[in-house]
Structure 1
């Protein structure tokens, strides 16, 4: 499972889904930045993020509070996207689309303001975002594969195919080192966001 061969097999299994997750996310960013985006919903999400930021600012140690809040929320969202992907892959796709649209909308707001959009992205998104997105893409890749292999397993069982659940079982086995990688990536991302990104955004 954690052997080099096992990890390579796991990556080969989810690589196509990982690429799909990347494409869907960045396509959703373009939708979020377009004039046809659901503005009311996204404004509501941004207000909730602002409220969380204000609550963090009011603590004795904002960096520590930010670390635990960000890590907890991202871990919960990633593990739910992975686990609940078994239900037709709906959850991971929803996570990718909603987050992609929200980031695209945020960037479009910055672009239409007096702020330097590249400066805001470089300071507020890139330091932690690259690491965090890798974890989310990986979690959603497993979630989509869970959903597809589960549906295929049911179909193959009904049609009498041999070893109908083998791909699903392999996905479940590979998800264990996948979860370990996600936890490590999200922990590093939370450290970066609560320190480097926080300091850059405050400067």
Structure 2
């Protein structure tokens, strides 16, 4: 049964993993903004996103195309991050760092182009409206993936001990709890995709067509 109180309580119990996820994301952001050795790779990622955006603009309904693509892309990745976390937490950790790096690199580019004021403006109008929903949703999904990985790690590498037995029991309790959490994350990402494809372009004074 879908109970908000149970979801909230479980989220509270996940505070350490959520905090660690925030740290990984912020670390990626700092690295992306400051490590010039990675700017070639990150520039390629940003260029691929830009080219995809140009393709979506050629559709008969660019706004709808952007919304559908953003939602499906983010929702699928969020669900994968939760369950592929079973691979010892590697996938969610990598996902957080890389996404943080890309965002950090975008801030770096804006800083070069328009200075600190331009960077702040991009954050307030281009990131915050949808990011206030999207980023926490992604961070929480990754936190659940990290927890999944930690439990699998304990189950595998502490064979026969109380740690393994405890991890096995917690795994059986934990996995069903990812289902309502996943539904909430996907719903939040749907709202974020609507904002990103409608309100964000309007605030930025750009057109998707």
Q: Could you tell me the TM-score, scaled by structure 2's length?
A: 0.90
Secondary structure in structure 1 of the residue aligned to 2:2: coil
> Are residue 197 (structure 1) and residue 200 (structure 2) matched?
yes
Matches within 5 A, 1:93-132: 93-114=93-114, 116-132=118-134
Query: Is the CA contact 1:10–1:171 (under 8 Å) kept in the aligned structure 2?
Result: no
* Aligned counterpart, 1:17: 17
Count of aligned pairs between the two proteins:
203
For 1:122 and 1:173, locate their aligned partners in 2 and report how far apart those are by CA, in whole Å.
Answer: 37
* Offset of residue 2 of structure 1: 3.0
Q: 1:180 to 1:202 in 2, by over 3 A?
A: same
Post-superposition CA distance 1:58-90 (Å, at most 9, x none): 112111000000001101111111111100100
Secondary structure in structure 2 of the residue aligned to 1:88: coil
> Are residue 70 (structure 1) and residue 73 (structure 2) matched?
no
Higher helix content, 1 or 2: 2
For 1:28 and 1:41, locate their aligned partners in 2 and report how far apart those are by CA, in whole Å.
Answer: 14
* Offset of residue 145 of structure 1: 0.3
5+ residue gaps, structure 2? none
For 1:60 and 1:122, locate their aligned partners in 2 and report how far apart those are by CA, in whole Å.
Answer: 30
* Residue range with higher mean Cα deviation, 70-79 or 160-169: 160-169
* Aligned counterpart, 1:43: 43
Q: Could you tell me the TM-score, scaled by structure 1's length?
A: 0.92
For 1:29 and 1:132, locate their aligned partners in 2 and report how far apart those are by CA, in whole Å.
Answer: 16
* Aligned counterpart, 2:169: 166
5+ residue gaps, structure 1? none
For 1:9 and 1:100, locate their aligned partners in 2 and report how far apart those are by CA, in whole Å.
Answer: 27
Query: Is the CA contact 2:151–2:167 (under 8 Å) kept in the aligned structure 1?
Result: no
For 1:183 and 1:149, locate their aligned partners in 2 and report how far apart those are by CA, in whole Å.
Answer: 24
> Are residue 183 (structure 1) and residue 199 (structure 2) matched?
no
Query: Is the CA contact 2:33–2:105 (under 8 Å) kept in the aligned structure 1?
Result: yes
Q: 1:24 to 1:138 in 2, by over 3 A?
A: same
